[in-house]
Amino acid sequence: MLAAVVVLGAGAVLWIGDGDETPSYLTRDATIDVAAAPGSQERVQLDTTLYVPEVTPAPAVLLPHGFGGDKNSVSREAAELAERGFVVLTYSARGFGTSTGRIALNDPDYEVADAVRLVDHLAGLPEVLTEGDGDPLVGVTGASYGGALALLLAGTDERVDAIAPVMTYNDLAQALLPNYATTGESRATTPAAGIAADGGVFKRAWAGTLFSAGLGAPTAGGPGAEAIEPGDELDNGDSGTGGTGATGEAGEAGAGFGTSAPSGAARQGNPAPPATDEVCGRFTEQVCAAYNDVAVDGRASEPTLALLRRVSPASVTGEITVPTLLVQGENDTLFGLDQADANARQISEAGAPVSVIWYTGGHDGGVPGPQLRATIGDFLQAHLDAEHTGETAAPAPFRYDVQGSLRASGAPSVRSVEADGYPGLGSGETLRRTVPLGGPEQVALRPPGATPAAVSGIPGLNRVVANSSRLSGLFTVDPPGQSATFLSRPLDSQLLVAGSSTVRLRIASAGGPAPADAAVLFAKLYDVNPDGTRTLPGNAVSAIRVPSLPPDGTPVEVTVTLPGVVRPVESGHRLQLVVGTTDQSYATPTTPAAYRLSLAGDARLAVPVVGGNTVTSGWPLPQLLGIAGTLALAAAVAVVAALRRRRSHRPDPALEHTPLVIEGLTKSYPGGLTAVSGLSLRVEPGQVLGLLGPNGAGKTTTLRMLMGLITPTEGEIKVFGHPVRPGAPVLSRIGSFVEGSGFLPHLSGEANLRLFWAATGRPPERAHFSQALEIAGLGDAVHRRVRTYSQGMRQRLAIAQAMLGLPELLVLDEPTNGLDPPQIHQMREVLRRYAATGRTVLVSSHLLAEVEQTCTHVVVMHRGRLVASGAVTDIVAGGEATFRVDRPEAAAEALRAVGGVSGVDVEGQLVHADLDGLPRSEAVAALVRAGVSVEQAGPRRRLEDAFLQLVGEGEGG
């Protein structure tokens, strides 16, 4: 029986509806007490929400959240399941949200025991269907941390009737220490000649992020939550099964552990801090000790491995006998396809029916989209209904998504392929297509300290670059001399890689002192375009550890299993195998070493190909006719729109030498918000234009539209006569620093600039690196890693990056942020000299005094509208002038006698007057005629005074 105290929250019963629709479910919040530990009298409070559909009793679904989230992270999924008629129970796991207790990583005695007691709670609710006393009809689904809980609970509590884990793990030791041999054989390398692999290679970046997430125990939406947030789904429009994530939804929502850098303890070589409460956050002492153990040198002790195995689904998969749907992401550097494969094999061997789906998301690609979530709901409904009626539900076929090229909208095209069965269970056909590789024996060096390290991707940023081979090159860097490369011939037909490829390698010590540690290497398979650009599918890397190499240089042969990916490699492309000695995401031995690497056997790559049919939807004839009519109408509209666009995209010859013309620019958002309204301005060559306005004036929105990052609602922007739109070629004539530099911290300043320029695809000789580095003024610091730079140094490097290629129009947002006064003075001179060459500079800044000294012209915006524009001297003058004279009173009398002059005021040796349009030169002449000696004459106001008058006091920001 559940020994729990349920406390109903005040006002926690709410009917939920959508607009005027009839409410379809209600929610009920409760706090449930559970035991803090086995046999303990202390209690832990779990914050829960129950979703109750209109018709009850009904089957129940337990829905745990992902790591770093809380019950609110899965509210969307819970609402969708409640709409289908399920009773859904969500909760914040111990240590997260407002629940108390410490995080034990799904320990059977803690989080799993909590879930068992929640099942007890469901059994006692009158709204839940039961199969007997204390036995509710219940399914469990969840993602990542929550998905592992679903597996562990199903292997522990026989009352669970169906599970649908999403993008989760089988063995946490293998996930965080890949290639660790738990049974004398490595999963990533199959040793030859009796050599056993062991130890694993610590996945430092992900583990550090996980540990950091628990230190502050962030709640969904609270401090630190976004650092562990992998993002929401972005529907791809074809299969609807997921897509590129975008930060926004609080917590993990079952998706991932995030993108923040690992804590200091995770950096190789740093001593781990003691396992105190201050350091452990809300982790248990055992978890904290395990992390400290492995973070010191990347090696796990037996107690740490025992803990990881204890909290892994692999410890109970042999006890799971209920229908299981495993949904795994194809873009996941944390829990790859191999983790789902291991779960599928082990659960199938226990006699349970298993279905598998691979989708385009993952911890690096986003959570499931609406259609995949609906598929998960269908699975639970079918099997829970079958359990209730005593019938048998048919197993779902194996399905995997294939992401193709980008559409015009920027979203990737995705198609789903359905096979007869999952090949990993022997029920589907797996073919192996061999691809010959070429390349001589090569020496790969591991430098002292293992730095600089290769970059295969950055957790949390992988999703940004996954769909762009050009951007992908920025985040896949193999330092020269640290890797061996083997290349195939161009393919004569498309090759659809679906799973883990294998290759035989020969590895040997390259002489000198024997490596002090095991041979640690990293293998990855690139898709190489005919133009030479490379894409690393899924940013996936296989970590290899060979425990020892003969010191005499005798080679050891191993079979390397590359990570599972799904990738259509087009005809004419090549496959490139890269085997390197470092990777920044992993803990790598820091002692220098050298290895001789070559292909073994027949030098062929064995690529898995899973046969199947592209899934299509059947439509009734009337609907097809209706769709055909709609498509015909849409085609006609598209033709007309295309003709209009073609006319609108033609350059204006009269403006070919004008850097920027904006006419009637408007940007509106849903909900009535208009960020920019009817903005028109013109910028001429040689100007340094300051864009001013208080916070919310629309400055940044205007710059984003200028850079083609967002599309205007109305109006147009022309740069050198060419209309600006996303991807317009004329954008290459603009250099910009608008939304942060995004430098790679482990590379030097100069290397970052060269890498950026290489990504543009333009010849190196057109970059003008020497001028840019001179502009940066960093001296020898350009050769240091950017992670050592101050904010001011990063700012100067970012402006130098914007000036690469000496663009004709330079757009800078707050360029003096982080600079000290001498640097600001230097920046001012740089911009003036830049404009003096005939180029144009557009500067957005809140430093009015600096704009007054730097800019020749000013545009002032307020609440999205233009309120003033013109030369700085004209804006500042405003008709008021100040004269320094020897006879102030006589000067005042002389000015009052001039027609139109008013507001004459004496202040010491200064005389102020409103000239009302009278040129200052005529006022000076009148003073001289009156016998007054004029020492100085100028505008009375500063730009700040003019700005405040234009936008109103208190509006600045």
| DSSP secondary structure letter of residue 59 | -
pLDDT at 355 over 70: yes
pLDDT of the residue at 955: 43
Mean pLDDT confidence for 547-570? 89
Top mean-pLDDT range of 153-162, 282-291, 487-496, 899-908: 153-162
Query: What residue ranges in 572-622 does DSSP mark as E strands?
Result: 574-580, 593-599, 604-610, 613-614
Q: For the domain made up of 879-940, give the CATH fold.
A: Alpha-Beta Plaits (3.30.70)
pLDDT at 383 over 50: yes
In the structure encoding, which two tokens stand for residue 843, read together?
A: 């500067």
The larger pLDDT score, comparing residue 273 to residue 101, is at 101
Mean pLDDT confidence for 469-488? 78
pLDDT of the residue at 225: 31
pLDDT at 421 over 90: no
d(CA 939, CA 852): 13
Top mean-pLDDT range of 230-244, 519-533, 777-791, 825-839: 519-533
Question: Of the given ranges (103-117, 226-240, 599-613), which has the lowest mean pLDDT?
Answer: 226-240
pLDDT of the residue at 214: 66
Query: Residue holding tokens 């193709």?
Result: 404
Number of C-beta neighbours around residue 352 at 10 A: 19
Backbone φ and ψ for 496, nearest 5 degrees, come out as -95, 100
pLDDT at 599 over 90: yes
Query: pLDDT band at 466, cuts 50/70/90?
Result: low
Shortest CA distance to 166 belongs to which of 177, 150, 153?
150
Shortest CA distance to 106 belongs to which of 309, 254, 334?
309
The larger pLDDT score, comparing residue 342 to residue 879, is at 342
Query: pLDDT band at 427, cuts 50/70/90?
Result: low
- In sequence order, the 6+-apart residues with CB closer than 8 A to the CB of 841 are 687, 688, 689, 810, 812, 831, 834, 835
Question: Of the given ranges (237-246, 347-356, 517-526, 839-848), which has the lowest mean pLDDT?
Answer: 237-246
d(CA 858, CA 868): 8
| DSSP secondary structure letter of residue 878 | T
Q: What is the DSSP string of 687-741?
A: -EEEEE--TTSSHHHHHHHHTTSS--SEEEEEETTEEP-TT-GGGGGEEEE-S--
pLDDT of the residue at 649: 54
Number of C-beta neighbours around residue 616 at 10 A: 9
pLDDT at 74 over 80: yes
The identity of residue 485, as a single letter, is T
Shortest CA distance to 480 belongs to which of 439, 452, 456?
452
The larger pLDDT score, comparing residue 70 to residue 755, is at 70
Query: pLDDT band at 874, cuts 50/70/90?
Result: low
Q: Is 805 helix (H, G, I), strand (E, B) or coil?
A: coil
pLDDT of the residue at 836: 81
pLDDT at 946 over 70: no
Top mean-pLDDT range of 99-108, 682-691, 790-799: 99-108
pLDDT of the residue at 919: 77
pLDDT at 468 over 90: no
pLDDT of the residue at 578: 96
pLDDT at 812 over 50: yes
The pLDDT tens digits of the residues spanning 623-633 come to 444 445 545 55
Mean pLDDT confidence for 664-668? 90
pLDDT of the residue at 165: 97
d(CA 799, CA 915): 41
CATH of region 430-613, choose from 2.60.40.1930, 3.40.640.10, 2.60.120.260, 3.20.20.80: 2.60.120.260
Question: Of the given ranges (7-21, 277-291, 315-329), which has the lowest mean pLDDT?
Answer: 7-21
pLDDT of the residue at 64: 97
The pLDDT tens digits of the residues spanning 195-212 come to 233 567 888 888 887 777
pLDDT at 661 over 90: yes
Per the DSSP assignment, residues forming a β-bridge with 902 are 914
Mean pLDDT confidence for 895-900? 84
Shortest CA distance to 261 belongs to which of 205, 337, 180?
205
Q: Where are the domains of the chain?
A: 6-168+316-425, 430-613, 649-872, 879-940
Rounded to the nearest 10°, the torsion over CA 652, 657, 659, 661 is -40
**Domain boundaries 6-168+316-425, corresponding CATH code:** 3.40.50.1820
pLDDT of the residue at 280: 76
Q: Is 159 helix (H, G, I), strand (E, B) or coil?
A: coil
pLDDT of the residue at 393: 67
The larger pLDDT score, comparing residue 948 to residue 397, is at 397
pLDDT of the residue at 208: 80
452: preceding bond cis by omega (within 30 degrees): yes
Top mean-pLDDT range of 12-21, 158-167, 690-699: 158-167
Tell me if 6-168+316-425 shares its fold with 649-872: yes
d(CA 780, CA 3): 67
Query: pLDDT band at 954, cuts 50/70/90?
Result: very low
pLDDT at 299 over 60: yes
Mean pLDDT confidence for 501-514? 82
As its CATH architecture, domain 649-872 has 3-Layer(aba) Sandwich (3.40)
pLDDT at 93 over 50: yes
pLDDT of the residue at 199: 63
pLDDT of the residue at 633: 54
Question: Of the given ranges (297-301, 370-374, 747-751), which has the lowest mean pLDDT?
Answer: 297-301
d(CA 476, CA 479): 10
Rg (CA), the chain: 33
Mean pLDDT confidence for 838-843? 88
The larger pLDDT score, comparing residue 436 to residue 226, is at 436
Q: Is 262 helix (H, G, I), strand (E, B) or coil?
A: coil
The pLDDT tens digits of the residues spanning 46-69 come to 999 999 999 999 999 999 999 989
Shortest CA distance to 399 belongs to which of 423, 369, 419?
419
**CB-count burial class (<10 Å; 0-12, 13-18, 19+) for 493:** exposed
Query: What residue ranges in 137-265 does DSSP mark as E strands?
Result: 138-143, 160-166, 189-191
- In sequence order, the 6+-apart residues with CB closer than 8 A to the CB of 99 are 44, 45, 46, 47, 70, 91, 92, 93
pLDDT at 189 over 50: no
Mean confidence (pLDDT) of the chain = 78
Query: pLDDT band at 621, cuts 50/70/90?
Result: very low
d(CA 388, CA 543): 46
User: Which residues in 96-119 are b (16+ Cβ under 10 Å) and which e?
Assistant: bbebbbbbbbbbbebbbbbbbbbb
pLDDT of the residue at 397: 76
Q: What is the DSSP string of 11-29?
A: T--EEE-STTSPP-EEEEE
d(CA 367, CA 241): 9
